[in-house]
Chain A
Amino acid sequence: MKWASPFKLKSKGILGMNARNFSYVLSKNKRELYPLVDDKMETKRIALLEGLSVPDLICCLKYNHQLKELHTVLKDHQEFVLKPAKGCAGKGILVITGRNEKGFIKASGSIVTFTEFNRHVASILTGMYSLGGTPDTAMFEKLVHFTDTFNGYTYQGVPDIRVIIYRGYPVMAMTRLSTKISDGKANLHQGAVGVGLDIVTGKAIQAVQFNKLVTKHPDTGQSFEGLEIPDWDVVLKLSAQSFDITGLGYLGADIVLDKARGPLILELNARPGLSIQIANGHGLEKRLLYIDSVHKKRRNIDEKLALVKEKFVDLK
């Protein structure tokens, strides 16, 4: 197993887990603000208050006895996404793309019977997927039809764009593409491909799977070289605004690109992971320290983005 000297890592500005927790998550994110991002219903509410784009909510469910009404509501929807409001790491999410007389059809093509579906909803409500096992809400959202940009770059699953926002400045971005190994999940340590995105241009830098560089998608064979996110400025602006609605100094915004509506905030994360550094091929710390040195001056969103675009071309 190859290893790197900690001094070398430090000199390259790579952020470690302890440093992330101590210097950024603990000191920049106030504990009382966590519910805003840990509860996706809450995130949606505050995003809508400020007019930020989010996937449309069909309905939400808090109590078991509402199950009957739920099915009358869902009758009008062929496809939707069921997720626990307080779920983490994509746990408990069910993507439904159709239905037949037996039950719902999942994105993978398999069928969830109505009984299984009801049980899944009940599990969500009792808090099986929530942090700390607290009672939860089941959310039903309209399915996002993602743009053609990712055609050939993903095996099932929804490709999302993760942007790290520090004190309201976007500092690093990547997109996570599910693979056969990751079982359609966009979770890097399960084998999804992370593609680092140039924070200035939205173009792919490099791609990694299991911490190793890859040049093309392992299932589709598509080369990552030409990958470029459309409407990059909109993505950056939308993700930067998540700071304004939450007040969290260090957060990760997960953005999906809807064919019709453009970039939408899928969810926010108060403890974004560090793999983004590997996907980008450089560390976070120098950019974070730079923001620390300039954040005192008040800037509006456009000024912030302009500063990022000007300074982060070379700052790695």
Chain B
Amino acid sequence: MSAKAQVYLWSLLLILVGAGIISYKSIQLDIPLTHGEKRDVWVVEALVEFETQDKPVKVKVALPTYYAQYKLLEQQGSSNGYGFTTEESPNKKAVWSSRQPPAGNQKIYYTFSIFETDEFQSTKGKDRYKFDKPYFEPAYKTAALSLVDSAWKKSSDNSTFAKEVIRRLNFADPDQNTNLVRSLIKGTYTEAHLVRDLILLKDVPATVLRGLQLEDGTRKTTTGNYLAFYDEKWSVINHISGEIGLPKDTIFWALTSVLETAGCTNSKITFSMIKSDQSAKSLAIKNSLEDSSPIMNFSIFSLPLEFQSVFKLLLLIPVGTLIVVIIRNLVGISTSGTFMPVLLAIAFIETSLVKGLVVLLVMMVLGLLIRTYLSRMNLLLVPRISAVVICVVILMAFISITSYKMGIAGGISVTFFPMIIISWTIERTSIMWEEHGGREVFEKMGGSLIVSIIIYFVMTNSFVKYFTFTFPEVMLIMLAFVLLIGVYTGYRLTEIFRFEPLVTDEDIKQ
């Protein structure tokens, strides 16, 4: 296989693998391609209050089970004196227990945060929720049956039946039967429970869920009752308006009570909640780290945070080199020192562009003056460059101290410049000046500076930063491009200007 064919094959392979992993992470793991997306994160704080009775206490708080499109992000319980464990089945529960609880009114806080996802939990399956035969006392049963029967006749399926029942219950001028049935609503037996029992009379599966309406800044709210019924799938229906569909920003507890206590009295649970924006990236990453997807398990995100920040910069360097390759081999502008612009750009990232440019130019000018004098002293090459390095360090200290004393904060950032690179640049520039004159120096150095500024802007672009860090696989694609440019034998952009006389001459002659 020829060298070129190998390059094409590798490039194809690299692009396929790179793009494959990126799309897997983006589609399957839900990591967004841009960092701009923010998602609502609800931080819900449950406050459990109860009174102890001088006997062992056990308090269980259930996490919402029917999250709808919500996913659990974090959970945290304050234990102050209680043993804290979690239970996984049948539902996720936080459990506090104590053999000898302190006397009096007790407070336990439990915080969990959830965020919205696009995944809808399937609500198919009739047996998802338990439902029993309803029990009506004989006096009420006839009234209930007559209400249900007439609703049944006016409906075609479970949904319309449920709506019809609710509509009848809420008539403005209720008949006697309805009034009788409504009189059952008392205490914990709410309207939702009544509707549930009425629907169950016709063997339509129905249940009452505890639900919590999420509202930013709400304090000490309690859960409410929501009615769910089955019609090919489970749906929530508003037991007053008859509207079918999930209420907005609501989480549910199903098959479980929110709070279970043993050994205490007057227990109650209230919720406070706040909404916060978090980048969708961190959510998806946290999420997939928990799911322990093999790709995420072996990713930069599995490193400790401090190493991650090292990689943040490291992963930007290939972008810089790619630009150098493009500018040199496709555009055709030569830079002094192949990757010097990349190193300068990295320094600019640390110093910020304008400060960096000013400091660099000051250092170059002073360095060149010193270098010119050193060359008069007839020094050999290596000692001369070492002398320049030492002078550059002295200059750095001088610039830092002077600017600090003068109250200019930027001067200290001079230390971010790679001084060996600066010294060599000064040396090379000085030789270039002697050999080819100032014009050449300004052209070459100006070219290098412009290239490094371009690289700086690309490397500080927030999308580029985000993308290289979140999808390091893009390096494979960049590698492929560099390989392809390596075998590109077409013209460079500057050459279509350079060789232009060759084409026009011919036209004139003809």
Residues of A within 8 A of B (CB): 1-6, 8-10, 12, 14, 16-19, 22-23, 64, 91, 115, 118-119, 122-123, 126-128, 133, 183, 190, 206, 208, 211-213, 277-278, 281-283
- A278 and B495: CB pair below 8 A? no
Residues of B within 8 A of A (CB): 329, 332, 378, 380-382, 431, 435-437, 487-492, 495-506
Docked CA distance A6–B382 (Å): 45
Question: What residue in chain B is nearest A26 (Cβ atoms)?
Answer: B3
- B502 and A23: CB pair below 8 A? no
* 29 pairs of residues in contact across A and B, judged by CB atoms under 8 Å: A3-B500, A4-B496, A4-B499, A4-B503, A6-B490, A9-B491, A9-B495, A10-B491, A14-B491, A16-B489, A16-B491, A17-B332, A18-B489, A18-B491, A18-B492, A22-B487, A23-B489, A123-B380, A123-B381, A126-B381, A128-B381, A183-B437, A206-B505, A208-B501, A278-B499, A278-B502, A281-B505, A281-B506, A282-B502
Selected from B378, B487, B492, B498, the residue in CB contact (under 8 A) with A119 is B378
- B502 and A4: CB pair below 8 A? yes
Question: What residue in chain B is nearest A19 (Cβ atoms)?
Answer: B489
- A126 and B499: CB pair below 8 A? no
Apart from the given pairs A18-B492, A277-B499, 6 other A-B contacts in the complex at a CB distance below 8 Å: A2-B504, A9-B502, A91-B435, A122-B380, A183-B437, A213-B505
Selected from A14, A18, A22, A118, the residue in CB contact (under 8 A) with B502 is A14
Q: How far is the CB of B424 from chain A (nearest CB, A)?
A: 9
Q: How far is the CB of A87 from chain B (nearest CB, A)?
A: 11
- B499 and A9: CB pair below 8 A? yes
When distances are taken between beta carbons in the complex, the residues of chain A under 8 Å from B496 are 3-6, 9
When distances are taken between beta carbons in the complex, the residues of chain B under 8 Å from A18 are 329, 488-492
Selected from B378, B380, B497, B502, the residue in CB contact (under 8 A) with A12 is B502
- B490 and A16: CB pair below 8 A? yes
Q: How far is the CB of B367 from chain A (nearest CB, A)?
A: 17
Question: What residue in chain B is nearest A115 (Cβ atoms)?
Answer: B378
- A6 and B503: CB pair below 8 A? no
Count of A-B contacts judged by CB separation below 8 Å: 90
Docked CA distance A149–B280 (Å): 77
Docked CA distance A183–B329 (Å): 30
When distances are taken between beta carbons in the complex, the residues of chain B under 8 Å from A277 are 499, 502
Q: How far is the CB of B387 from chain A (nearest CB, A)?
A: 13
Interface centre among B332, B381, B431, B502 (most CB of A within 10 A): B502
When distances are taken between beta carbons in the complex, the residues of chain B under 8 Å from A128 are 381, 431
Question: What residue in chain B is nearest A283 (Cβ atoms)?
Answer: B502
When distances are taken between beta carbons in the complex, the residues of chain B under 8 Å from A12 are 502-503, 506
When distances are taken between beta carbons in the complex, the residues of chain B under 8 Å from A23 are 489
Q: How far is the CB of A269 from chain B (nearest CB, A)?
A: 18
* 3 nearest CB pairs, A to B: A126-B381, A19-B489, A16-B491
Question: What residue in chain B is nearest A22 (Cβ atoms)?
Answer: B489
When distances are taken between beta carbons in the complex, the residues of chain A under 8 Å from B499 are 4, 9, 14, 16, 277-278
Given contacts A115-B378, A128-B381, A190-B436, contact A6 B502 (CB under 8 A): no
Given contacts A8-B503, A18-B490, contact A133 B495 (CB under 8 A): no
Docked CA distance A281–B507 (Å): 12
When distances are taken between beta carbons in the complex, the residues of chain B under 8 Å from A115 are 378
Question: What residue in chain B is nearest A18 (Cβ atoms)?
Answer: B489
- A133 and B381: CB pair below 8 A? yes
Docked CA distance A32–B490 (Å): 27
When distances are taken between beta carbons in the complex, the residues of chain B under 8 Å from A283 are 502
Q: How far is the CB of B485 from chain A (nearest CB, A)?
A: 9
Given contacts A18-B491, A122-B380, contact A4 B436 (CB under 8 A): no
Given contacts A3-B500, A4-B500, A6-B490, contact A17 B495 (CB under 8 A): yes
- A126 and B497: CB pair below 8 A? no
- B495 and A2: CB pair below 8 A? no
Question: What residue in chain A is nearest B494 (Cβ atoms)?
Answer: A17
When distances are taken between beta carbons in the complex, the residues of chain B under 8 Å from A64 are 380
Docked CA distance A214–B488 (Å): 34
Docked CA distance A8–B501 (Å): 12
Docked CA distance A283–B329 (Å): 20
Given contacts A17-B332, A91-B435, contact A278 B492 (CB under 8 A): no
Q: How far is the CB of A90 from chain B (nearest CB, A)?
A: 9
When distances are taken between beta carbons in the complex, the residues of chain A under 8 Å from B497 are 1-4
- A9 and B501: CB pair below 8 A? no
